[in-house]
Amino acid sequence: MKLISAIAYTTAAVGSSLILPAVASATDVHCASDNGTDVTVVDGNTACRAAAETSGRARSAGYDGVGYAHAAAGAAALGVGAAGGVGASEGVGGIPIAFGYGPDAVALTTITAAATDSDIGKSQAAIPLFAISIAFEGSRAQVSTADSSVVCLGTAAFAWNSATGTTCLTTPFGRWQTPKSELG
């Protein structure tokens, strides 16, 4: 019951921080890259970069933050940084997503190899490898499929690796992490 209460209070706290009035975003930049292009946009402290190899798709955005995405081998990468945060994703196959919101927030997601039958028990066409990291003000979130790890630090971070099912969550009320599964 304590876990359910902690999750409910955390959801309310994070939700209210997103709804309450804040300083309006003065600068936003967007980058899109497909099939071998590399796009970088810098405007003051706001920036984005999207780089895609021949068969990749990368999208990034900075909303008074820094977004970075790199895609290869059919990956579809997304990185978003907002309000002083950094979101960086890299993928060789699969779908890496990273979202950093708030000053000193850093979210990193890396998929280093395309999913295989042994990784997920089904063909890659049926289930693409998916990983996501989300960090809020002053927190860190990271997913690395190379060593099947997820890391959450600070008071507001979430990370999930679909290949292993490994998840972590940090809130002002504590830290939770699932153990590494047999798949990883």
Mean pLDDT confidence for 57-77: 95
**Residue pLDDT, tens place only, 128-164:** 789 999 999 999 999 998 888 899 999 999 999 988 8
| Lowest mean pLDDT across 64-68, 71-75, 117-121, 127-131 | 117-121
Each domain of the chain, given as residue ranges in start order, spans 28-177
**Does pLDDT of 123 surpass 50?**
no
Q: Please give the full DSSP string across 62-114, using - where no structure is assigned.
A: EESSEEEEEEETT-EEEEEEETT-EEEEEEESSEEEEEEESTT-EEEEEE-S-
User: What's the predicted TM-score (pTM) here?
Assistant: 0.78
Rounded Cα–Cα distance for residues 65 and 83 (Å): 5
Q: In what order do the strands lie in the sheet with 76-82?
A: 28-34, 57-63, 76-82, 95-101, 130-136, 157-161, 167-171, 174-177
